[in-house]
Structure 1
Amino acid sequence: MDPHQNEPRQHAKRDPPSGRKRTRLACDRCSTLRVRCDGQQPCRRCQEYQSTCHYTRSIGRRGRKPKSANRVQQPQQDREFDSSEADCDLEQSTPHPRPEQSATYDGQESPGLPTNNQDTVSTHYSSSHSSHHDAVSLDMQADSITAPSFDQLYHVAGIQPSYPLPEFDLAVHHGAESVHESSTRERPSTATQNLPSRACRYKCLEPIIPLVHGIIDAKLVCELFELYFVEPGGSLFKCSSPYVLAHVMRKESLLRADNPRTCTPALLVTMLWVSAQTAESSLFLLPGQKAIVCEELRKLMMGLIQGRDRDVWNRTTSGPLVRDLEYATAGDQNRSEYHVGSASAVSPPVPLVDDVLMFILVTIVSSGGDFKTDCLRWWNKALRLSHNMGLNREDSPENSFTQSETSLCTSQTTSCGCRSCEASRTGLTISEVREERRRAFWLIFCLDRHLALSFNAPLRILDDECQLYAPLSDEAWAALSTGRDPEDATLGSSSHSTMFGAPTRISGIGFFEYFLPLMTILGDVIQLHRQKSHPRFGNIRRPQVNGQEEEDDPATAMIEQVMVQCAQSITDLASAYQVDALDASAIPASQVRTPQCAISPQQSHGDHSRTSNSASHASSHRRHAQAQLVTAYSTFILHVLHVLLHGKWDAVSMLDNKDGWIPSVGFMKCASHAIAASDAMSRILACDPELSFMPYLFGIYLLHGSFILLLFADRMPQLGLNESVEKACEIIIRAHEVCVVTLSTEFQKRFRKVLRSTLYSVRSPATSNLEESKARRRALSLYRWNEGATGLAL
């Protein structure tokens, strides 16, 4: 055994002279990455990647363990520790025990988290955070001793230590967290523990700094949090997250230093996890580092979601809700071995908009991955929670409190779900709370239509259920003053008198202003399509005229009229922003919604009036560029909606043409709108070459707009070459290729290959064969939109 193995780092330079000096001790980061370290504090690699350099890992000794250690070693596998056993071990292993480090229950503050100024907020969030630490299973390693380490004791007590932890697993198993410790660490000093909180620039993030300190540092936490609010088109190296469709919470409310909006730790960690999926930080330059960070954040997120998920609470026969910690398995034969939830004085967490947004974000990221069916679990949770919270309707007049009633309710009821109590928990005004509820619901509404088309599923939210006002524009929402009276009429019925319910006309360049009307029309198309596919109702929808079916039944004509009005609103929007004046030159995507663009350093040193004029000109230019993108994307999606209204949704059925649909009038309408959609696609590529404006949403509409062109390309050997069809196919192929680069999706990769192979067979008939045709059919058969199929949900 090397006696110098545990010497301090300053003695590591006593090696004999050689060609390359050997460092006896590497820092924790270099040791984890298996790279050479110079042993300095900080080392060269940590300085290069701007990460915190630590030397806190324990040094294991080689050789056989002494017999004394083997005698005290006991098998610890599959042993369940409850909070009382953890406290007992804590007293035996620590020289100065702290009573407040016991298991944290609902109604008590967690000492591991910073306290908030509002007692109700602190009590509520600490209880929700600690509820999933009630029963913890410590799966000890074979070479561990009986006394647990500091890290294990912190996890057992439901407290997150504020120093780097070893790799852990927060995967929830039957309501408990399984923690796997592979090594022990020495507890750092108090100054080291307080360092992450001082490095955090945003007060709203302080509650989660101790939770993520073993995964990422405070600097990266702030960077990922800022990335969550980045608007699309800012930079190719600091792109906005494609999974953030719209902002439900105001950025100014969260980032302000004085009384920021209070968020649940589960939502904050979810926001970091979403941003980390596509972040371009210097920490993620090392191969595999992003995947490691995303996985650790996912484990932490799942553990925190467990404390906010009301699905783990079940109704007992006596009436109250209790939380089930563990469930009996089918293999259990003895009823005494069943682990069921026990009743306690703890109440389930009060549902908040934070929880709805948390489930929405997890749904979006899951649906954008390879395992798209995993999102249905979280999507159902978001739908149930929004329905239970009544997000689909405005508050009734009897729920409006006076000032005295508001203070009385807030002071006496901590689990109340009224607007005044919710405003007290979050630190917002009642008006802002109501607007957050509206935006959360309309985001679910848009996502419901989008997922219904993607997965060939029925609508989960019907239009007659939307008994609330449309959301504010993004500019009005961002500029909203937080110091207004709770009953301010600007957020009341006066400003929404003409926007009650789901809109069908595009009114602006914000997400809800242009995408929400399109999703309203898409919902009508989906409803009509499913009724036509009904085995009984579908046969009575089209009346017979002169022995032939009438092509345009009243429902189809009504939807067409709504589409015409929507197209006129796009034209009005283009005229309002003078988009036609910008058609001659392409607008770079880097100039869209970029505050610092078009302002030179010389202008920054000029007089105040000159700077104001330059900023005003840059803001006007950004709005013009944004309007050009909105009009181009909206025009394309509207043409695709025409294709969905008149055409077939399934590509294989369209190619087979067993029902003779191709000679119909509906086919001609589909063909004309498909060609028009390709023209709109060329305009989109001119002003957004990276297709970074809405990469998550755009893929499914691009796919359905391409099926008709695939049919044209497949029929060209019989009908002859068509230059306009080939040009349209090339534009669509290029769009699919760009989409794959911006946000990789397997269905677009496969369809691009199918369309390209079809064009090859048309241009070189001698090289085409039957195997190529079968391969194309197999690729298309993976994604079906016929009766009973599931679309992209493989």
Structure 2
Amino acid sequence: MANSPQIIDMGQGLDRPDRVQRACDRCNNSRTRCSGEIPCRRCAKLNYPCQYQRAVKKRGPKPRATQRKSHSKTHSSDTSTKGQSYIARPSGAGDSPRCSKASFSSSSDWDGNGTDTQSHGSTPDTSFTSEGPDRPMHSTECEATILSYGTLSLDLSSLPTGSGFFNDTLTCRYPCLNPVLPVLQGIVSPEDACSLLDIFFADPDTAGLDARCPYILTPVIRKKSLLREKAPRLVSPALLVTILWCVSHTANLDILQDTTTRSRVIQSLYSLSMKLLRARDSDKWHRTTNGWVAESDLLPCTTPTETDCCPVSENNPEQNVDDVISYILIACVISGSEFKHEYIQWWNKAVHLVKRLGFNSEARIAQDTPSSQQMSLASREQHEECRRAFWLVYTLDRHFALSFDEPLHIQDSECQVLYPLPEWIWTDLDSIPLEDIPPRVCEPPTRISGTGFFDYFLPLMVMLGDILELRSRSQHPRLGSLNETYLIGTIQTMLSDCEYSLEVLRAVRTPQFAFPTSPLSLNGTDEKPICLAWINTDVVIAYSRYILRVLHMLLYGENNTTSVPDASSTCALPPEIFTTTANCITAAESIAHILELDSNLSFMPFIFGIYLSHGSLNFLSVADQMSRVGASDLAGQGCGTILRAHEVATRTFNSSFQKNFTRIVRQYACMVGGMGAGDMQGHNKYNDVWGVKSECYDNIYC
């Protein structure tokens, strides 16, 4: 190699290692001593790609004659090559790579009216890490093309760029990523972006904890439709970047093992997603999330002293289901972070958009379309995506209402849309005949019918919404005094029917009990549907049974975890004290059964924490009473199970609330094990512990 690194002799008497004349690109960016070999010892040890493509520059400013010559040459090159397609150039060339309108032809939302602008200076580094402080970051012309999307001029100069990844775009596994690969330079490589998409669409039945993202409850978009090589589903670049940002929080990729690198990737993807989402936002919002990105980074104002928001073009692209999914993902990630209370602004946008687009009305979804027998597969997919997006918003609306003590944003009277298809049908929609799809109704379901997310979790959230509505009504100053016996009885009947549906679900695993529309009765020669229906049935039943116990507690007791339970009284209404006590004991047994089946609590870590906390609160209050009447052994055993579950949950899905609550449960479990009847000292410790818990509630996560 002409520019092979050379060893500089620093003297015979020095103990420190010899310096090399030139460090590799990765060691140079990380300010780490490099051995100068090819590959260097550090890159070989960490299995990093070792390259020496960084341009060697002399210190100090360039001569004026050289600057004028370079500027003239660059201007001439821009004029002669405007509008041409990108041609791969050798690494180390002085000019930035180019991309044309053809690069974005796979997305219908990209108009390709961007202008060509060329970055000046040396070629950016081709390694994964972004530029160092001594190297300014420039916007490439590919970013300018993306910024023309929606005729909104945005500034992406704060994002790191690079040129070493363009050669990989020709062999990208998923063509759907091609439109966003130019702006992902210096953030993630094409192969890493494909790996993040694999994690997003990971099958919960077969993928382990490390291969899934806890924020992805269910993909609204079909995996086969988006990831196929020929004619993939058209998707907005904003959604693609948001997906990568969401998955990068927990992805177990080699490039994300370093905490600093992961933070840099997350921040860069977040900045890019914000800029792309603003270009699509029709209500012209100009908010910042107070801690994630500064407002000056989000708003391309002309001066830093401007307080008014910059004008946005009136020609915003029409929003669709992609934007709903983007808002849902952002709300979920923020709700599980230290800025959890800022989720509400994103959640309000998701709820507002899903109503404005008419996803809650089957008539608006299917308007101007032929009958189902004449619809194409693409139209059927589009309609089903709208339904699934609405029901996902409906489900999370109940979950967030319980987690953050918020009112419901979507009422049951607004749900005039078909129930979503079972997961096994939605996955293979292109291969299942239309006549084999089971009939559906336009109402929220209350019975569990399968192992898919909507099949088991949506019915539970329907009944949770009814309980929250009932509790809200009981606090009404004029209507709260009315008799609630009939309403409580109605909800109790639904809970009993839902629990019976779990027994039916367990029975259909046996082929002789298969229903005509079950996966066991269709494609009988194919074992794949059978495996998918069986593999997680026990886990789904165990989790669902526990959440049903929690719903029983909420129906007859307190539904607010901010209230500190009183050790000298019951947490339930007096007539139902024995029912609530039985539910608490059964819930503790259900947790033990869940730990046997899912020792890491990895099945639904993002949404399970609030239900685990509610069940723990009620059981600890009952356990205190049990310890006073001489049942300390049973109470201590239950407290030990709850403590183990919280410790596992802390390791699986870490949060500040889980840490604080686990510490409190540990203290109280010790007190229950050693506190006898009438032990006032233990009673005082109990009150002290729950006082600490009340202060820690501000850190609760959903």
Q: Does 1:675 align with 2:585?
A: yes
Asked whether the 8 Å contact 2:418–2:443 carries over to 1, the reply is yes
Matches within 5 A, 1:188-199: 194-199=166-171
Q: Does 1:560 align with 2:541?
A: no
SS in 2 for 1:529: helix
Could you tell me how far 1:642 is from its partner in structure 2? 0.5
Q: Does 1:355 align with 2:323?
A: yes
Aligned AA (2:480): G
Aligned AA (1:27): C
Q: Summarize the Cα distance change of 1:447–1:67 in structure 2 as closer, same or farther, 3 Å threshold.
A: closer
Matches within 5 A, 1:39-54: 39-46=36-43, 49=46, 51-54=48-51
Asked whether the 8 Å contact 2:509–2:534 carries over to 1, the reply is yes
Measure the CA separation in 1 of the matches of 2:47 and 2:27.
13
Asked whether the 8 Å contact 1:243–1:365 carries over to 2, the reply is yes
Q: Does 1:34 align with 2:31?
A: yes
Measure the CA separation in 2 of the matches of 1:61 and 1:365.
45
Measure the CA separation in 2 of the matches of 1:121 and 1:93.
31
Q: Summarize the Cα distance change of 1:67–1:739 in structure 2 as closer, same or farther, 3 Å threshold.
A: closer
Measure the CA separation in 1 of the matches of 2:285 and 2:464.
36
Corresponding position of 1:697 = 607
Q: Does 1:177 align with 2:146?
A: no
Matches within 5 A, 1:381-780: 381-395=349-363, 399-401=367-369, 429-481=378-430, 490=435, 495=437, 497-542=439-484, 553-578=485-510, 620=530, 623-650=533-560, 653=563, 655-656=565-566, 664-715=574-625, 718-765=628-675, 772-773=685-686, 775-780=688-693
SS in 1 for 2:155: strand
Q: Which moved more, 1:658-667 or 1:567-576?
A: 658-667
Q: Summarize the Cα distance change of 1:220–1:719 in structure 2 as closer, same or farther, 3 Å threshold.
A: same
Matches within 5 A, 1:40-439: 40-46=37-43, 49=46, 51-57=48-54, 65=60, 93-98=74-79, 111=99, 114-115=102-103, 117=105, 120-123=108-111, 126=112, 152=138, 154=140, 158-159=144-145, 176-177=154-155, 179-180=157-158, 194-232=166-204, 234=206, 236=208, 238-312=210-284, 341=311, 347-395=315-363, 399-401=367-369, 429-439=378-388
Measure the CA separation in 2 of the matches of 1:42 and 1:327.
45
Measure the CA separation in 2 of the matches of 1:121 and 1:341.
21
SS in 1 for 2:77: coil
Deviation per CA, 1:54-103: give whole Å up to 9, x if none: 445455656xx57978xx99xxxxxxxxxxxxxxx98785341147869x
Q: Summarize the Cα distance change of 1:391–1:237 in structure 2 as closer, same or farther, 3 Å threshold.
A: closer
Measure the CA separation in 2 of the matches of 1:258 and 1:776.
60
Could you tell me how far 1:251 is from its partner in structure 2? 0.5
Could you tell me how far 1:497 is from its partner in structure 2? 4.1
Measure the CA separation in 2 of the matches of 1:445 and 1:435.
15
Relative contact order (C-alpha < 8 Å, sep 6+): which is higher?
1
Measure the CA separation in 2 of the matches of 1:393 and 1:677.
37
Could you tell me how far 1:444 is from its partner in structure 2? 0.6
Could you tell me how far 1:52 is from its partner in structure 2? 4.4
Aligned AA (1:780): K
Q: Summarize the Cα distance change of 1:633–1:397 in structure 2 as closer, same or farther, 3 Å threshold.
A: closer
Q: Which moved more, 1:45-54 or 1:268-277?
A: 45-54
Corresponding position of 2:3 = 9
Measure the CA separation in 2 of the matches of 1:398 and 1:736.
45
**Over aligned residues, Cα RMSD in angstroms?**
4.2
Measure the CA separation in 2 of the matches of 1:296 and 1:641.
41
Could you tell me how far 1:498 is from its partner in structure 2? 4.1
Asked whether the 8 Å contact 1:695–1:742 carries over to 2, the reply is yes
Asked whether the 8 Å contact 2:187–2:268 carries over to 1, the reply is yes
Measure the CA separation in 1 of the matches of 2:576 and 2:493.
16
Aligned AA (1:356): V
Q: Summarize the Cα distance change of 1:620–1:670 in structure 2 as closer, same or farther, 3 Å threshold.
A: same
Deviation per CA, 1:307-341: give whole Å up to 9, x if none: 12223279xxxxxxxxx977899987xxxx97752
Deviation per CA, 1:225-273: give whole Å up to 9, x if none: 1111112364557331101001111101111111011111111111111
Asked whether the 8 Å contact 2:23–2:33 carries over to 1, the reply is yes
Asked whether the 8 Å contact 1:327–1:339 carries over to 2, the reply is yes
Aligned AA (1:387): K
Measure the CA separation in 2 of the matches of 1:8 and 1:746.
54
Measure the CA separation in 1 of the matches of 2:390 and 2:309.
37
Deviation per CA, 1:389-425: give whole Å up to 9, x if none: 100011359933469xx9xxxxxxxxxxxxx9xx9xx
Deviation per CA, 1:546-601: give whole Å up to 9, x if none: xxxxxxx111000001111111111100111159xxxxxxxxxxxxxxxxxxxxxx
Q: Summarize the Cα distance change of 1:713–1:252 in structure 2 as closer, same or farther, 3 Å threshold.
A: same
Aligned AA (1:25): R
Could you tell me how far 1:456 is from its partner in structure 2? 0.8
SS in 2 for 1:759: helix
Asked whether the 8 Å contact 2:109–2:317 carries over to 1, the reply is no
Asked whether the 8 Å contact 1:91–1:97 carries over to 2, the reply is no
Measure the CA separation in 1 of the matches of 2:686 and 2:367.
64
Deviation per CA, 1:633-666: give whole Å up to 9, x if none: 1111111101110001245646237987657023
Corresponding position of 1:605 = none
Measure the CA separation in 2 of the matches of 1:260 and 1:25.
44
Measure the CA separation in 1 of the matches of 2:72 and 2:443.
61
SS in 1 for 2:211: coil
Corresponding position of 1:416 = none
- TM-score w.r.t. the length of structure 1 is 0.71
Could you tell me how far 1:734 is from its partner in structure 2? 0.9
Q: Summarize the Cα distance change of 1:754–1:440 in structure 2 as closer, same or farther, 3 Å threshold.
A: same
Unaligned runs of 5+ in 2: 84-97, 118-134, 287-297, 512-522
Measure the CA separation in 2 of the matches of 1:429 and 1:181.
35
Q: Summarize the Cα distance change of 1:711–1:157 in structure 2 as closer, same or farther, 3 Å threshold.
A: closer
Q: Summarize the Cα distance change of 1:654–1:13 in structure 2 as closer, same or farther, 3 Å threshold.
A: closer
Measure the CA separation in 1 of the matches of 2:509 and 2:370.
43
Could you tell me how far 1:759 is from its partner in structure 2? 2.3
Asked whether the 8 Å contact 1:651–1:780 carries over to 2, the reply is no
Asked whether the 8 Å contact 2:566–2:621 carries over to 1, the reply is no
Count of residue correspondences = 637
Corresponding position of 1:597 = none
SS in 1 for 2:224: helix
Measure the CA separation in 1 of the matches of 2:533 and 2:143.
53
